[in-house]
Amino acid sequence: MSQRKVLELFYDVVSPYSWLGFEILLRYKNIWKIDIQLRPGFTGGIMHATGNTPPAMVPRKGAYMSRDLERLSEFYEVPLRNPSDFFNSIIKKGSLSAMRFLTAVQMSHPEFLEEVSRELWVRIWSEDKDITEPESILQVRIRAHSNGHSIALYNHRLLFVLL
């Protein structure tokens, strides 16, 4: 019998394509005989360091992405829709605090990383809700049913520690 391959998924919850990839990989991991290693990473930092423009901010790419995501959402049955204030929710606010939170979850309680990641994606890409404020992160933690572990929120910069 062949050994299962490990696939690393580097992702940011600000990306709807990451969410689609996440759900598809998890859905088919047993059929494809793969184990998924989740690796949260802040794409805003990568974009800044490389001088890239977010794809949605390039007019033709943005228009294509909107139609493409609608089709993919329907085909893969992932309830994805654009936030009502896309620029403010995605471009201006970004995902730094959410990704810091996911990194803390990965370091302290990796068994919750899948659930918490999904809840963040659902919150921003399905429910049109914030993912940057402390109260928003707390709601994600509550919805992910993190087995009674609590989250300490430190100052307005949203540095998270799981206790």
Active site residue 97: no
**Under 8 Å CB-to-CB from 56, ≥6 apart: which residues?**
62, 65, 86, 90, 91
The DSSP annotation for the chain comes to: -PPPEEEEEEE-TT-HHHHHHHHHHHHHTTTTTEEEEEEE--HHHHHHHHTPPPGGGSHHHHHHHHHHHHHHHHHHT------TTHIIIIIIS-SHHHHHHHHHHHHH-GGGHHHHHHHHHHHHHTS---SSSHHHHHHHHHHTT-TT--EEEETTTTEEEE-
Q: Which of 2, 15, 73, 146 is catalytic?
A: 15
41: its two tokens:
């990473």
The set of catalytic residues is: 15
